[in-house]
Homo-oligomer: A and B are copies of this chain.
Amino acid sequence: MNTQFPVERILLGPGPSPVSSRVLRALAAPTLGHLDPQYLAILDETCEMLRQIFQTKNPLTFPVSGTGMAGMECVAVNLIEPGDEVIVCVNGVFGGRMKDVMERCGATVHAIEVPWGDVFSHEQIAAALEQHPKSKLVGIVHAETSTGAHQPLEGLAKLAHARDALLMVDAVTSLGGHELRVDDWEIDAIYSGTQKCLSCPPGLAPVSFGGRALAKMDARKTKPQSWYLDVSMLRKYYTGAGGGRVYHHTAPINMTYALREALAIVLEEGLDNRIARHAKMHQRLRAGLEAMDLSYIPKHSLHTLNCINIPAGADDAAVRKRLLDEYGIEIGAGLGVMAGKAWRIGLMGHGSTVRNVALVLAALREILG
Protein backbone atom coordinates (compact mmCIF):
# COMPACT_ATOMS: atom_id res chain seq x y z
CA MET A 1 0.00 0.00 0.00
CA ASN A 2 1.42 3.38 -1.03
CA THR A 3 -0.03 5.69 1.57
CA GLN A 4 1.67 8.71 0.02
CA PHE A 5 -0.58 8.46 -3.01
CA PRO A 6 -3.66 6.54 -1.96
CA VAL A 7 -5.88 4.91 -4.56
CA GLU A 8 -8.84 7.21 -5.21
CA ARG A 9 -12.25 5.95 -4.17
CA ILE A 10 -15.77 6.66 -5.33
CA LEU A 11 -17.28 7.54 -1.97
CA LEU A 12 -20.82 6.14 -1.94
CA GLY A 13 -21.04 5.42 1.76
CA PRO A 14 -22.70 7.40 4.54
CA GLY A 15 -20.00 10.09 4.26
CA PRO A 16 -17.54 11.52 3.54
CA SER A 17 -18.95 12.10 0.06
CA PRO A 18 -16.83 12.76 -3.05
CA VAL A 19 -15.06 16.13 -2.96
CA SER A 20 -14.65 18.04 -6.22
CA SER A 21 -11.24 19.19 -7.43
CA ARG A 22 -12.42 22.80 -7.03
CA VAL A 23 -12.91 22.27 -3.31
CA LEU A 24 -9.61 20.41 -2.92
CA ARG A 25 -7.83 23.25 -4.72
CA ALA A 26 -9.45 25.81 -2.42
CA LEU A 27 -8.36 23.75 0.59
CA ALA A 28 -4.72 24.11 -0.45
CA ALA A 29 -4.69 27.93 -0.66
CA PRO A 30 -2.02 29.59 1.52
CA THR A 31 -2.87 29.65 5.21
CA LEU A 32 -3.84 33.04 6.64
CA GLY A 33 -4.00 34.16 10.27
CA HIS A 34 -7.40 33.83 11.96
CA LEU A 35 -7.56 37.58 12.61
CA ASP A 36 -6.34 38.64 9.15
CA PRO A 37 -8.95 40.92 7.54
CA GLN A 38 -8.78 38.73 4.46
CA TYR A 39 -9.63 35.64 6.48
CA LEU A 40 -12.44 37.38 8.35
CA ALA A 41 -13.94 38.37 4.98
CA ILE A 42 -13.76 34.74 3.84
CA LEU A 43 -15.38 33.63 7.08
CA ASP A 44 -18.16 36.21 6.68
CA GLU A 45 -18.85 35.02 3.14
CA THR A 46 -18.94 31.44 4.40
CA CYS A 47 -21.44 32.24 7.16
CA GLU A 48 -23.62 34.20 4.74
CA MET A 49 -23.72 31.28 2.30
CA LEU A 50 -24.51 28.92 5.19
CA ARG A 51 -27.51 31.13 6.00
CA GLN A 52 -28.75 30.80 2.43
CA ILE A 53 -28.40 27.04 2.49
CA PHE A 54 -30.00 26.68 5.93
CA GLN A 55 -32.67 29.09 4.59
CA THR A 56 -32.38 31.29 7.63
CA LYS A 57 -31.66 34.87 8.57
CA ASN A 58 -30.18 33.79 11.93
CA PRO A 59 -27.14 36.01 12.56
CA LEU A 60 -25.70 33.22 14.72
CA THR A 61 -24.87 30.81 11.89
CA PHE A 62 -21.28 29.59 11.64
CA PRO A 63 -19.09 26.52 11.23
CA VAL A 64 -18.03 24.90 14.52
CA SER A 65 -14.35 23.85 14.56
CA GLY A 66 -14.93 20.10 14.61
CA THR A 67 -16.77 17.41 12.69
CA GLY A 68 -20.56 16.85 12.73
CA MET A 69 -20.72 15.40 16.25
CA ALA A 70 -19.03 18.55 17.55
CA GLY A 71 -22.01 20.40 16.09
CA MET A 72 -24.41 18.21 18.08
CA GLU A 73 -22.37 18.75 21.20
CA CYS A 74 -22.15 22.51 20.60
CA VAL A 75 -25.94 22.84 20.40
CA ALA A 76 -26.50 20.61 23.42
CA VAL A 77 -23.96 22.14 25.81
CA ASN A 78 -25.21 25.64 25.08
CA LEU A 79 -28.95 24.98 25.22
CA ILE A 80 -29.03 22.60 28.16
CA GLU A 81 -28.39 23.38 31.81
CA PRO A 82 -28.06 20.65 34.43
CA GLY A 83 -31.49 19.51 35.56
CA ASP A 84 -33.31 20.56 32.38
CA GLU A 85 -35.87 18.09 31.14
CA VAL A 86 -35.67 17.33 27.42
CA ILE A 87 -37.37 15.02 24.95
CA VAL A 88 -35.20 13.09 22.51
CA CYS A 89 -36.59 11.11 19.58
CA VAL A 90 -34.59 7.91 19.15
CA ASN A 91 -34.98 5.82 16.00
CA GLY A 92 -31.35 5.03 15.26
CA VAL A 93 -27.73 5.54 16.27
CA PHE A 94 -27.75 9.32 16.04
CA GLY A 95 -30.87 9.82 18.13
CA GLY A 96 -29.23 7.51 20.67
CA ARG A 97 -26.10 9.64 20.62
CA MET A 98 -28.16 12.77 21.13
CA LYS A 99 -29.60 11.19 24.26
CA ASP A 100 -26.11 10.30 25.51
CA VAL A 101 -24.75 13.79 24.78
CA MET A 102 -27.68 15.44 26.59
CA GLU A 103 -27.35 13.19 29.62
CA ARG A 104 -23.70 14.22 29.83
CA CYS A 105 -24.99 17.82 29.92
CA GLY A 106 -26.93 16.92 33.05
CA ALA A 107 -30.33 16.78 31.34
CA THR A 108 -33.15 14.49 32.41
CA VAL A 109 -33.85 12.88 29.06
CA HIS A 110 -37.29 11.57 28.16
CA ALA A 111 -36.49 9.35 25.20
CA ILE A 112 -39.33 8.40 22.89
CA GLU A 113 -38.69 5.55 20.52
CA VAL A 114 -40.00 4.01 17.35
CA PRO A 115 -38.44 1.00 15.62
CA TRP A 116 -35.25 1.68 13.68
CA GLY A 117 -36.15 2.70 10.14
CA ASP A 118 -39.46 4.32 11.20
CA VAL A 119 -40.04 8.02 11.78
CA PHE A 120 -42.06 9.94 14.37
CA SER A 121 -45.58 11.25 13.82
CA HIS A 122 -46.75 14.66 15.01
CA GLU A 123 -49.07 12.82 17.39
CA GLN A 124 -46.22 10.97 19.08
CA ILE A 125 -44.29 14.15 19.65
CA ALA A 126 -47.38 16.03 20.85
CA ALA A 127 -48.09 13.18 23.29
CA ALA A 128 -44.54 13.28 24.64
CA LEU A 129 -44.81 17.04 25.17
CA GLU A 130 -48.08 16.52 26.99
CA GLN A 131 -46.64 13.74 29.12
CA HIS A 132 -43.50 15.75 29.98
CA PRO A 133 -44.80 19.31 30.12
CA LYS A 134 -41.65 20.71 31.76
CA SER A 135 -39.49 19.73 28.81
CA LYS A 136 -37.42 22.63 27.55
CA LEU A 137 -36.32 21.09 24.29
CA VAL A 138 -37.21 18.45 21.72
CA GLY A 139 -34.28 16.88 19.87
CA ILE A 140 -34.86 15.06 16.62
CA VAL A 141 -32.82 13.73 13.69
CA HIS A 142 -33.89 14.91 10.22
CA ALA A 143 -31.82 12.34 8.36
CA GLU A 144 -31.00 9.28 10.46
CA THR A 145 -27.72 8.15 8.94
CA SER A 146 -27.89 4.74 10.56
CA THR A 147 -31.25 3.74 9.01
CA GLY A 148 -31.74 6.04 6.03
CA ALA A 149 -35.07 7.27 7.45
CA HIS A 150 -36.28 10.73 6.49
CA GLN A 151 -38.10 12.48 9.34
CA PRO A 152 -40.68 15.11 8.30
CA LEU A 153 -40.05 18.28 10.32
CA GLU A 154 -42.69 20.76 9.19
CA GLY A 155 -45.08 21.59 11.99
CA LEU A 156 -42.98 20.08 14.78
CA ALA A 157 -41.67 23.42 16.02
CA LYS A 158 -45.22 24.70 16.51
CA LEU A 159 -45.95 21.75 18.79
CA ALA A 160 -42.80 22.42 20.80
CA HIS A 161 -43.29 26.18 20.96
CA ALA A 162 -46.88 25.75 22.18
CA ARG A 163 -45.32 24.05 25.21
CA ASP A 164 -42.51 26.59 25.51
CA ALA A 165 -39.93 24.07 24.33
CA LEU A 166 -37.24 24.52 21.67
CA LEU A 167 -36.81 22.33 18.59
CA MET A 168 -33.25 21.07 17.98
CA VAL A 169 -32.54 19.30 14.69
CA ASP A 170 -29.72 17.04 13.48
CA ALA A 171 -29.33 17.78 9.77
CA VAL A 172 -25.95 16.17 9.23
CA THR A 173 -27.04 14.04 6.28
CA SER A 174 -29.73 16.37 4.88
CA LEU A 175 -28.32 19.90 4.60
CA GLY A 176 -27.85 20.64 0.91
CA GLY A 177 -29.58 17.42 -0.21
CA HIS A 178 -33.11 17.65 1.20
CA GLU A 179 -35.63 20.42 1.65
CA LEU A 180 -34.79 22.12 4.94
CA ARG A 181 -36.27 25.51 5.82
CA VAL A 182 -34.92 26.64 9.16
CA ASP A 183 -36.88 29.90 9.36
CA ASP A 184 -40.13 28.74 7.73
CA TRP A 185 -40.15 25.64 9.91
CA GLU A 186 -39.16 27.68 12.99
CA ILE A 187 -36.28 25.38 13.91
CA ASP A 188 -34.52 26.86 16.94
CA ALA A 189 -31.15 25.19 16.68
CA ILE A 190 -29.66 23.00 13.99
CA TYR A 191 -26.31 21.46 13.13
CA SER A 192 -24.82 19.65 10.19
CA GLY A 193 -21.50 18.39 8.82
CA THR A 194 -19.48 19.43 5.81
CA GLN A 195 -18.71 15.95 4.49
CA LYS A 196 -22.19 14.86 3.43
CA CYS A 197 -24.38 16.73 0.93
CA LEU A 198 -22.07 19.78 0.93
CA SER A 199 -19.24 17.60 -0.44
CA CYS A 200 -16.46 19.26 1.51
CA PRO A 201 -13.92 17.24 3.50
CA PRO A 202 -14.88 16.56 7.14
CA GLY A 203 -13.64 19.03 9.74
CA LEU A 204 -16.35 21.64 10.28
CA ALA A 205 -19.89 21.50 11.63
CA PRO A 206 -22.24 24.25 10.42
CA VAL A 207 -24.68 25.35 13.14
CA SER A 208 -27.45 27.91 13.36
CA PHE A 209 -29.26 29.28 16.40
CA GLY A 210 -32.53 31.25 16.24
CA GLY A 211 -33.87 33.93 18.57
CA ARG A 212 -35.53 31.56 21.05
CA ALA A 213 -32.33 29.55 21.40
CA LEU A 214 -30.35 32.73 21.89
CA ALA A 215 -32.74 33.86 24.62
CA LYS A 216 -32.34 30.52 26.41
CA MET A 217 -28.55 30.80 26.20
CA ASP A 218 -28.58 34.40 27.40
CA ALA A 219 -30.66 33.38 30.42
CA ARG A 220 -28.22 30.65 31.51
CA LYS A 221 -27.29 30.62 35.17
CA THR A 222 -24.26 28.40 34.60
CA LYS A 223 -21.43 28.43 32.06
CA PRO A 224 -21.71 25.81 29.32
CA GLN A 225 -19.62 22.81 30.34
CA SER A 226 -17.49 23.16 27.21
CA TRP A 227 -15.15 26.12 26.84
CA TYR A 228 -14.28 25.16 23.26
CA LEU A 229 -17.95 25.19 22.22
CA ASP A 230 -19.21 28.07 24.40
CA VAL A 231 -21.38 30.14 22.05
CA SER A 232 -21.34 33.17 24.36
CA MET A 233 -17.66 33.51 23.46
CA LEU A 234 -17.74 32.03 19.95
CA ARG A 235 -20.31 34.55 18.80
CA LYS A 236 -17.93 37.42 19.53
CA TYR A 237 -15.47 35.93 17.06
CA TYR A 238 -17.90 34.70 14.42
CA THR A 239 -20.38 37.57 14.35
CA GLY A 240 -18.53 40.40 16.08
CA ALA A 241 -21.44 40.51 18.57
CA GLY A 242 -20.71 42.94 21.39
CA GLY A 243 -18.35 45.02 19.24
CA GLY A 244 -15.30 43.80 17.35
CA ARG A 245 -14.07 40.31 16.52
CA VAL A 246 -12.55 38.80 19.61
CA TYR A 247 -10.13 35.87 19.36
CA HIS A 248 -11.46 32.71 20.96
CA HIS A 249 -9.61 29.80 19.41
CA THR A 250 -7.69 29.35 16.17
CA ALA A 251 -10.27 28.35 13.56
CA PRO A 252 -9.42 25.66 10.98
CA ILE A 253 -8.40 28.22 8.35
CA ASN A 254 -7.93 26.00 5.31
CA MET A 255 -11.07 24.02 6.02
CA THR A 256 -12.98 27.31 5.87
CA TYR A 257 -11.58 27.93 2.37
CA ALA A 258 -12.86 24.52 1.32
CA LEU A 259 -16.26 25.02 2.88
CA ARG A 260 -16.68 28.39 1.20
CA GLU A 261 -15.91 26.84 -2.17
CA ALA A 262 -18.26 23.92 -1.52
CA LEU A 263 -21.07 26.29 -0.55
CA ALA A 264 -20.43 28.43 -3.63
CA ILE A 265 -20.88 25.29 -5.74
CA VAL A 266 -24.19 24.55 -3.99
CA LEU A 267 -25.46 28.06 -4.69
CA GLU A 268 -24.26 28.02 -8.30
CA GLU A 269 -26.31 24.90 -8.90
CA GLY A 270 -29.21 26.40 -6.96
CA LEU A 271 -30.52 24.84 -3.79
CA ASP A 272 -33.82 23.74 -5.38
CA ASN A 273 -32.05 22.19 -8.36
CA ARG A 274 -29.69 20.39 -6.05
CA ILE A 275 -32.47 18.99 -3.91
CA ALA A 276 -34.32 17.88 -7.06
CA ARG A 277 -31.15 16.19 -8.33
CA HIS A 278 -30.82 14.24 -5.08
CA ALA A 279 -34.47 13.12 -5.41
CA LYS A 280 -33.98 12.03 -9.02
CA MET A 281 -30.78 10.10 -8.39
CA HIS A 282 -32.37 8.37 -5.42
CA GLN A 283 -35.33 7.27 -7.58
CA ARG A 284 -32.96 6.06 -10.26
CA LEU A 285 -30.93 4.03 -7.79
CA ARG A 286 -34.05 2.74 -6.08
CA ALA A 287 -35.52 1.49 -9.36
CA GLY A 288 -32.26 -0.30 -10.14
CA LEU A 289 -31.92 -1.86 -6.69
CA GLU A 290 -35.55 -2.99 -6.60
CA ALA A 291 -35.15 -4.50 -10.06
CA MET A 292 -32.42 -6.63 -8.45
CA ASP A 293 -34.86 -7.58 -5.65
CA LEU A 294 -32.97 -5.51 -3.14
CA SER A 295 -35.31 -3.90 -0.60
CA TYR A 296 -35.19 -0.67 1.39
CA ILE A 297 -35.26 -0.71 5.17
CA PRO A 298 -36.99 2.62 5.93
CA LYS A 299 -40.54 3.37 4.78
CA HIS A 300 -39.62 7.01 4.22
CA SER A 301 -36.18 6.81 2.67
CA LEU A 302 -33.75 9.67 2.49
CA HIS A 303 -32.70 10.70 -1.01
CA THR A 304 -29.17 11.16 0.22
CA LEU A 305 -28.65 7.76 1.81
CA ASN A 306 -30.13 4.46 0.73
CA CYS A 307 -30.28 1.85 3.45
CA ILE A 308 -31.07 -1.60 2.07
CA ASN A 309 -31.36 -5.11 3.43
CA ILE A 310 -28.37 -7.32 2.70
CA PRO A 311 -29.83 -10.08 0.51
CA ALA A 312 -29.95 -13.62 1.86
CA GLY A 313 -26.78 -15.52 1.04
CA ALA A 314 -24.60 -12.47 0.47
CA ASP A 315 -21.46 -12.12 2.60
CA ASP A 316 -21.62 -8.56 3.98
CA ALA A 317 -17.91 -7.90 4.46
CA ALA A 318 -16.82 -9.81 1.37
CA VAL A 319 -19.16 -7.86 -0.91
CA ARG A 320 -18.02 -4.52 0.48
CA LYS A 321 -14.39 -5.57 0.17
CA ARG A 322 -14.86 -6.52 -3.48
CA LEU A 323 -16.60 -3.22 -4.18
CA LEU A 324 -13.65 -1.40 -2.61
CA ASP A 325 -10.78 -3.47 -3.96
CA GLU A 326 -12.03 -4.25 -7.45
CA TYR A 327 -14.20 -1.25 -8.24
CA GLY A 328 -12.80 1.39 -5.90
CA ILE A 329 -16.31 2.02 -4.54
CA GLU A 330 -16.95 2.61 -0.86
CA ILE A 331 -20.41 1.85 0.50
CA GLY A 332 -21.33 1.75 4.18
CA ALA A 333 -21.85 -1.20 6.49
CA GLY A 334 -24.81 -1.34 8.84
CA LEU A 335 -24.42 0.58 12.09
CA GLY A 336 -25.62 -0.41 15.57
CA VAL A 337 -28.43 -2.98 15.47
CA MET A 338 -28.21 -2.86 11.64
CA ALA A 339 -24.65 -4.25 11.61
CA GLY A 340 -24.53 -7.25 9.31
CA LYS A 341 -28.10 -6.59 8.14
CA ALA A 342 -27.85 -3.40 6.11
CA TRP A 343 -25.81 -1.70 3.45
CA ARG A 344 -25.85 2.05 3.18
CA ILE A 345 -25.38 3.62 -0.23
CA GLY A 346 -24.89 7.36 -0.15
CA LEU A 347 -25.66 9.60 -3.10
CA MET A 348 -24.63 12.90 -1.63
CA GLY A 349 -23.66 16.22 -3.15
CA HIS A 350 -20.95 15.82 -5.76
CA GLY A 351 -21.50 12.05 -5.62
CA SER A 352 -25.19 12.07 -6.55
CA THR A 353 -24.81 11.55 -10.29
CA VAL A 354 -26.15 9.38 -13.09
CA ARG A 355 -22.67 7.98 -13.52
CA ASN A 356 -22.35 6.86 -9.92
CA VAL A 357 -25.82 5.33 -9.90
CA ALA A 358 -24.96 3.35 -13.03
CA LEU A 359 -21.60 2.34 -11.61
CA VAL A 360 -22.75 1.08 -8.24
CA LEU A 361 -25.69 -0.79 -9.80
CA ALA A 362 -23.37 -2.41 -12.35
CA ALA A 363 -20.87 -3.40 -9.70
CA LEU A 364 -23.54 -4.85 -7.40
CA ARG A 365 -25.05 -6.78 -10.31
CA GLU A 366 -21.67 -8.29 -11.15
CA ILE A 367 -20.78 -9.16 -7.57
CA LEU A 368 -24.18 -10.45 -6.44
CA GLY A 369 -24.59 -12.33 -9.73
Contacts and interface: CB of A to CB of B under 8 A. Distances in A.
Interface of A: 1, 3, 5-9, 11, 13, 15-16, 18-19, 24-25, 27-34, 36-39, 41-42, 45, 65-70, 72-73, 97, 100-101, 103-105, 193, 195, 201-203, 223-228, 247, 249-255, 258, 324, 330, 335
A3 B252 contact: no
B65 A36 contact: no
A199 to B, nearest CB: 9
A103 B100 CA distance: 22
Contacts of A3: 38, 41-42, 45
Which 7 A-B residue pairs are closest in the complex by CB-CB distance?
Answer: A203-B252, A28-B28, A201-B254, A6-B38, A69-B249, A24-B28, A202-B250
Given A9-B30, A104-B227, A226-B226, 17 more contacts: A5-B29, A6-B38, A9-B32, A11-B32, A16-B32, A16-B34, A16-B253, A19-B30, A24-B31, A31-B195, A33-B330, A66-B66, A69-B249, A103-B223, A104-B224, A247-B335, A252-B255
B6 A30 contact: yes
Contacts of A335: 247
Most buried by B among A15, A36, A97, A202: A202
Contacts of A19: 30-31
A38 B203 CA distance: 19
Contacts of A330: 33, 36
A253 B194 CA distance: 12
A97 B227 contact: yes
Given A67-B65, A203-B254, A101 B25 contact: no
Nearest to A13: B33
A254 B72 CA distance: 22
Given A38-B1, A70-B65, A224-B104, A254 B27 contact: yes
A71 to B, nearest CB: 9
Contacts of A227: 69, 72-73, 97, 100-101, 104
A344 to B, nearest CB: 12
A249 B100 CA distance: 14
Most buried by B among A29, A31, A100: A31
B34 A24 contact: no
Contact of A255 (B36, B251, B255): B255
26 contacts: A1-B41, A5-B29, A6-B42, A7-B38, A13-B33, A18-B31, A19-B30, A24-B30, A24-B31, A27-B27, A27-B28, A34-B202, A65-B70, A66-B66, A68-B249, A69-B250, A70-B228, A70-B249, A104-B225, A195-B250, A201-B252, A202-B252, A202-B253, A203-B254, A226-B226, A252-B252
Nearest to A73: B228
Contact of A250 (B7, B28, B67, B247): B67
